[in-house]
Structure 1
């Protein structure tokens, strides 16, 4: 970390710059404690290569949470329940729903390599597509065509206390 001090200026945009540079909360916390930002003459990549940050970044574990609305073939939000073939949205650790029955959330485990994360995400997509039959996963940030809010099915997590609390929440 000592090499890092040679290339530092204090800056009011600390949080923004650091968030853009580092995905790892571990590295972010180190830099927050140092109360520094890297505004360099060199590129940020060069600084990472020249410092111990490269070692920290290469050893982080990462995972992905990806949300997608289930839609029918016409681009309208799916009105069907969460597919039973995907397991319980309350207890399945990798395939669940968020606030709506139609909002699938794919959650990878944490892996050291990005290729392992992407392989698992790909596998979760395959499992999901095999289970949703004639529906699609909406790929865009903006939602598909939606009915009135009252027609959107709230996520159903079962009748257990935990499930009912999650549904109410």
Structure 2
């Protein structure tokens, strides 16, 4: 972790070579994270593991500062970025499939419902997480870190500065609220 912290400090100081070194050091972990996330939605997005990692990295480069105290906080941020990439990809595909700015003519309602079911679910979950974040930001962070980053309760507790039991309660509460919102 010392290498990662040192590289993050150098990146924040403007060292462009540190960005490449950081990416190289974290690449395998980012691929594992992306693979786990895409496994849950393999039929929903055309992204593959490499594309998701590279797109996330491009967004890291555009970030003004990468200020993380430890590995878990970095991967909490990475999970949020990957969620954003996937949602943006689904929105883009939905827009393209529906003709983008072209006039929309629906031929068959049943076919349209069948084609977009999985993508609609991704968008609904994203919107429900946004609503949850407005209600209780910590609950939304717990969901992001657990679902999108695959962090353990112990790692999440470390990132949020709470104990593991609080994380378990937050996870249960968040699942209940999300289930209600998605009905």
Q: TM-score, normalised by structure 1?
A: 0.28
Larger Rg: 1
Q: Which structure: greater strand fraction?
A: 1
Q: TM-score, normalised by structure 2?
A: 0.26
